[in-house]
Structure 1
Amino acid sequence: MTVTTSTPKISHRKTQPARRHDRGTVSWAKEKGWRHLVGIVTIIFALFPLLYVLSAALDSSGTLAGSNRLFGQIGFENFAQLFADPARPFGRWFLNTLFIGAVTSLASVLLGALAAYAFSRMRFKGRRLGLLSLMLLQLFPQLLAIVAIFLLLSGISDVVPWLGLGSQLGLIMVYLGGALGVNTYLMYGFFNTVPTSLDEAARLDGASHVQIFFGIILRLVTPILAVVGLLSFIGISSDFIIASVVLQDPDSQTLAVGLYSYVAQQRSENWGVFAAGSVLAALPVMALFLFLQKYITSGLIQGSVKG
């Protein structure tokens, strides 16, 4: 009687799921993993300056050399010093910035919306040339006209002092003139996405252009109005050169111009106070951004759908 022995067959089925898992991990890393890596690096690159400024604002040493270690010292002496110096009225600078930014943003939104509605809904001679002119004007920054702005406001001061050099209203007028072109062109693309059938139906009911504009169109283009207002406020809050030329009285200056006095001297020891003022200056912009967040994405995207 012979006994036959059979060698057991080794099954490779258990290793197949592991191989598939490894292949899936490799393919995920090639297709999507690098995006996560780029996103993490970008977030770190964007957050590091903010963390450094916040660390310098909480550091009582006041110098940049002492702020090499993040959050090595934590105190609020720099914030208290902001409001303790009578020669540097930080509170007045803060209110001036809010006033100039709010008035300019609201006026920019209104004037830009009126101009965009005219170009989008009305047909008149010179319409195409006007649109091309607005687009070409954006190629030249407002900084190139700083000498002309100074001479113009200086001449106006002799006739209308409250509108000339050194007045906040004169600075507001300068900001409105520089932002009207880009705001109009940005709103024009968004206004074209609103169906003209709404205008025609309103005209059949006897509505005028004013009633159509304020009663129908403005309600439908709220996202782009929020975006334009936000961008205008951010640009005005961070502007230094034009504001420093127009506003010369310390009591009428904005935050960007006033805070520069802390670090104007070489090897200044007021960098901590400057950082504290920068942190407080960013709060209105952050609050406005969070308040208008739901309009920002739609306002920037929908305007490019139809031109």
Structure 2
Amino acid sequence: MSTLTRSELPVAPRKRSALQMFRQSGWRHAVAALIVIYAVFPLLYAFSAAFGEGGTLLGSNRLFSTLSLNNFRELLSDPQNPFVTWFLNSMFISSVTAVGTVLMGAAAAYAFSRFRFRGRKTGLMSLLIIQMFPQLLAFVAIFLLLASLSEVYPFLGLNTQLGLIMVYLGGALGANTFLMYGVFNTVPKELDEAARIDGATHAQIYWTIILRLITPILVVVGLLAFIASFSDFLLARIVLQDPDRWTVAVGLYQFVSVEFGEKWGVFTAGAVLSAIPVVLLFLFLQRYIVSGLTGGAVKG
């Protein structure tokens, strides 16, 4: 019967002190907790004002001191401020913008990734440089352009939802094309060659093979386009002039534009309801978000 020597005996793991545990991994939890508190604290004021009766964000030292649904009732029953109409307008504009952005950006990125043509590198560099200029510089030009289009194509000019959608599509095309271009490069070109040998056309390769492989980035681009257009105020306020065609961001501004702090409770109630679609989209599509954002980070 063999016996274990002293050096061969199993050594019990040493217990780490609280300071050692904090140095190794505890500080990460502390930083994460601070970030969560920093992000959630303003939301508490918004929820408190939405469910409160004071109707203001100032002097809210006692959060949730009163709970009431009066702000929501006033928001949904005011005939001069049709929140439901604004909400449906935002959903329509944002949904069409998201779908159009995905289709246009994916088609442009596929062309830059798979085809070789004159001006390809110049076009990619131009798309990147144009995105460096702030959109604020283009507001006057957009207004004058849509005003001119109204005389020729009334359905595409000022005070039209289609005109606003076209503005959103043009503004998002460059950045999203460059983002999806890196993801398209990660898909091996051997798949295209094998499909062509089997008799597949470029359209069949694009729709049935490539797009299915890059679904995460398509979801991310669509989600970002939806959020950007849903929460936009400046462009929507410039283009849309008829109150029945306003979006949620433009419509809710009317509750606080007359006098500071007049109807902040109704405003925050509308903001809470408006955040529901975005939150649901994040929860439903969260499994695509991380893989979509990092998909083109390895090979560009």
2:108 to 109, 115, 120: 115
Query: Residues 59-108 of structure 1, C-alpha deviation per residue, up to 9 Å, x if partnerless?
Result: 02212235332111111110010111111010000000000000000000
Contact 1:107 1:176 in 2 (8 A): yes
| TM-score normalised by the chain length of structure 2 | 0.93
CA shift, 1:265, in A, is 2.1
Q: Which residue of 2 aligns with 1:8?
A: none
Q: Secondary structure at the match of 2:17?
A: helix
Tell me, in whole angstroms, the C-alpha distance in 2 between the residues paired with 1:187 and 1:142: 21
- C-alpha distance in 2, partners of 1:191/1:267? 49
Q: Alignment partner of 1:302: what SS?
A: coil
What runs of 5+ residues in structure 2 fail to find an aligned partner?
A: 1-11
Aligned counterparts of 1:237 and 1:83: Cα–Cα separation in 2: 19
Deviation at 1:143, TM superposition (A): 2.0
What are the ranges of 5 or more consecutive residues in structure 1 without an aligned counterpart? 1-16
Letter paired with 2:178: Y
Among 225, 231, 253, the alignment partner of 1:238 is 231
Task: Tell me, in whole angstroms, the C-alpha distance in 2 between the residues paired with 1:69 and 1:76.
Answer: 18
SS at match of 1:295: helix
Taking the aligned partners of 2:241 and 2:230, their CA distance within structure 1 comes to 17
- Residue 234 of structure 1 deviates from its aligned partner by 0.6
1:248 aligns with 2:247: no
- In structure 2, the partner of 1:3 is none
1:185 paired residue number: 178
Whole-Å Cα distance in 2 between the matches of residues 215 and 34 of structure 1? 47
Contact 1:59/1:67 (<8 A) preserved:
no
CA–CA distance in 2 between the matches of 1:148 and 1:289?
34
Residue number in structure 2 paired with 1:148:
141
Q: 2:171 & 2:233 partners in 1: Cα distance?
A: 15
Q: Could you tell me how far apart the structure 1 residues matched to 2:67 and 2:151 are? A: 51
Residue identity matched to 1:34: W
Of the three residues 70, 73, 81, the one matched with 1:80 is: 73
Work out the CA distance in 2 between the residues paired with 1:154 and 1:271: 34
Match for residue 40 of structure 2 among 27, 40, 47:
47
Tell me the SS of whatever aligns to 2:84: helix
Larger Rg over CA atoms: 1
Count of residue correspondences:
288
In structure 2, what residue type is equivalent to 1:153? L
Moved more, 204-213 or 259-268: 259-268
The TM-score with structure 1 as length reference comes to 0.91
Deviates more, 1:232-241 or 1:67-76: 67-76
Partner of 1:124: 117
Which of residues 276, 283, 300 in structure 2 aligns to 1:283? 276
Please show how residues 195-234 of structure 1 align to structure 2 within 5 Å: 195-234=188-227
- Separation in 1, partners of 2:28, 2:210: 40
Structure 2 residue matching 1:67: 3-state secondary structure: coil
Q: CA deviation at 1:195?
A: 0.9
